[in-house]
């Protein structure tokens, strides 16, 4: 898979930051403060704790995105330069810091406009996990307030095995839902699942046989009641414009009204597992439309699907609802999915009683236990909304 090349402005920003760090390190060396701790820098130069800490972190950070967050303000740089001059640091080192700082701030103004946007350039360029996580956390908080809903976890588990009724096809067990979903306003209904039934011309697009793992629910609802919160969440099913929606009804607000909703289904002969010109990759997307603190997406492969390669994770934003690139998602940058063993150990899942849930799903589907299944996981904190997280496996010759 190709690796992303940082956009040119990010590369230039990294160089400006590196120049400023190099000049500030030389200044501290001239003051006899090479590799000094923040407290020592503060005492030697007479700086307050906050400024001393910023300077010490700024010169130490090798990740430019972290350095951008700790960059002293222009007033702080002036204070440091005056203190360094009083300590006898040479004019050449002081001038080098002043010039590097000027070039850096001009870049920020021209290409980003402000410090926060400058920091966000690194997150957008894929330079850092920490900064991007902060941005996603802020989006979660803002989205929760704007839409009036949030959840601790969204999860989906797909278990695949060769079909027992259709050679060359695979059957699925699908289990998913939300853990501790809260409404922040009582008048908020929320769609928790949707299924496309017809295309724009009204033709059926979903001919796959679907069966709830726990039969007998009203309207064919697929709730797994033992794993839902009680009383059982009220869900309304309706069809509109060729899609079938399951919508959570309005209810109590806040932590006391938090619900957990878990749904489980079996899909029969849902897709081919035989490699062909138009079936080289098995691609399984999960759409994130709800502000959630964490996402867990597992793919379980039966031992007889050994020709499926290890899963990879692709992530793409859906803000523009842009169609997938021609040729599918394989042209997007991906990363290896984490490998997992069943039964899972305590603390390995974001979902309470996860091992029990999967065991029950297999039992209700009439499948054997999870022995021998290869399991892959995509696990994210504060996933972007809206976005699509995809697990994909290359299909080899069976």
**What per-residue confidence (pLDDT) applies to 215?**
84
Any idea which residue has 């009220």 for tokens? Answer: 234
pLDDT band at 124 (very low <50, low <70, confident <90, very high): low
Q: What is the mean pLDDT of residues 341-351?
A: 80
Residue 2 has pLDDT above 50, yes or no: no
CA distance 179 to 176: 10
Of 208, 207, 231, 233, the residue nearest 222 (C-alpha) = 233
**What per-residue confidence (pLDDT) applies to 188?**
85
**CB count in 10 Å sphere of residue 395:** 19
3-state secondary structure of 284: strand
Residue 3 has pLDDT above 50, yes or no: no
**What per-residue confidence (pLDDT) applies to 209?**
86
Residue 25 has pLDDT above 70, yes or no: yes
CA distance 81 to 88: 11
pLDDT band at 69 (very low <50, low <70, confident <90, very high): confident
The pTM of the full predicted model, rounded to 2 decimals, is: 0.74
Q: What is the mean pLDDT of residues 165-189?
A: 92
pLDDT per position as a tens digit, 228-277? 999 998 888 888 877 889 998 888 888 888 999 999 999 999 889 999 98
Choose between 389 and 118: higher pLDDT.
Answer: 389
**What per-residue confidence (pLDDT) applies to 10?**
72
Give the mean pLDDT of the chain.
86
**What per-residue confidence (pLDDT) applies to 13?**
80
**What per-residue confidence (pLDDT) applies to 132?**
72
CA distance 307 to 66: 42
Residue 123 has pLDDT above 70, yes or no: no
Q: What percent of the chain has pLDDT over 90?
A: 55
Lowest mean pLDDT, pick from 68-77, 155-164, 226-235: 68-77
**What per-residue confidence (pLDDT) applies to 398?**
74
Q: Do residues 314 and 380 touch, judged by C-beta distance below 8 A?
A: no
Of 139, 118, 5, the residue nearest 65 (C-alpha) = 118
CA distance 104 to 121: 14
**What per-residue confidence (pLDDT) applies to 327?**
46
pLDDT per position as a tens digit, 263-320? 999 999 988 999 998 889 999 999 999 999 999 999 999 999 999 999 999 988 887 7
**What per-residue confidence (pLDDT) applies to 304?**
96
Choose between 398 and 130: higher pLDDT.
Answer: 398
β-partners of residue 283 are: 392
Between CA 257 and CA 266, with CA 261 as vertex, the angle to 5 degrees is: 170
Residue 65 has pLDDT above 70, yes or no: no
**What per-residue confidence (pLDDT) applies to 127?**
46
């Amino acid at each position: 898979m190709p690796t992303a090349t940082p956009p040119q402005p990010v590369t230039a920003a990294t160089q400006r930051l590196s120049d400023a760090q190099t000049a500030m390190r030389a200044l501290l060396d001239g003051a006899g403060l090479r590799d000094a701790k923040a407290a020592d820098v503060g005492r030697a130069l007479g700086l307050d704790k906050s400024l001393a800490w910023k300077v010490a972190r700024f010169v130490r950070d090798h990740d430019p995105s972290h350095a951008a967050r700790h960059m002293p303000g222009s007033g702080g740089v002036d204070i440091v330069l005056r203190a360094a001059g009083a300590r006898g640091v040479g004019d050449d080192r002081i001038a080098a810091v002043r010039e590097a700082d000027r070039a850096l701030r001009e870049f920020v103004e021209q290409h980003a406009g402000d410090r926060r946007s400058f920091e966000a350039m690194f997150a957008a360029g894929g330079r850092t996990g920490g900064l991007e996580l902060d941005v996603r956390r802020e989006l979660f908080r803002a989205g929760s307030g704007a839409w009036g809903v949030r959840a601790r976890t969204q999860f989906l588990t797909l278990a695949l095995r060769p079909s027992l009724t259709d050679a060359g096809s695979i059957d699925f067990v699908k289990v998913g839902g939300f853990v501790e979903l809260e409404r922040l306003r009582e008048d908020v209904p929320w769609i928790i699942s949707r299924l496309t039934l017809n295309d724009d011309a009204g033709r059926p697009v979903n001919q796959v046989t679907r069966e709830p793992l726990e039969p007998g629910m009203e309207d064919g609802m697929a709730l797994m009641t033992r794993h839902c919160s009680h009383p059982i969440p009220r869900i309304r099913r309706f069809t509109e414009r060729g899609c079938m929606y399951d919508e959570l009804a309005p209810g109590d607000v806040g932590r006391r009204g938090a619900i957990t909703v878990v749904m489980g289904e079996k899909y029969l002969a849902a897709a081919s597992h035989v490699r062909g010109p138009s079936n080289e990759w098995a691609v399984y997307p999960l759409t994130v439309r709800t502000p959630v603190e964490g996402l867990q997406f597992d793919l379980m492969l039966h031992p007889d699907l050994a020709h499926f390669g290890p899963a990879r994770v692709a992530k793409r934003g859906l803000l523009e609802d842009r169609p997938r690139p021609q040729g599918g998602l394989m042209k997007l940058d991906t990363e290896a999915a984490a490998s997992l063993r069943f039964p899972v150990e305590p603390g390995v899942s974001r979902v309470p009683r996860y091992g029990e849930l999967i065991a029950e799903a297999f039992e209700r589907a009439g499948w054997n236990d999870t022995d021998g299944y290869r399991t892959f996981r995509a696990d994210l904190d504060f996933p972007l909304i809206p976005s699509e997280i995809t697990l994909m496996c290359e299909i080899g010759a069976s």
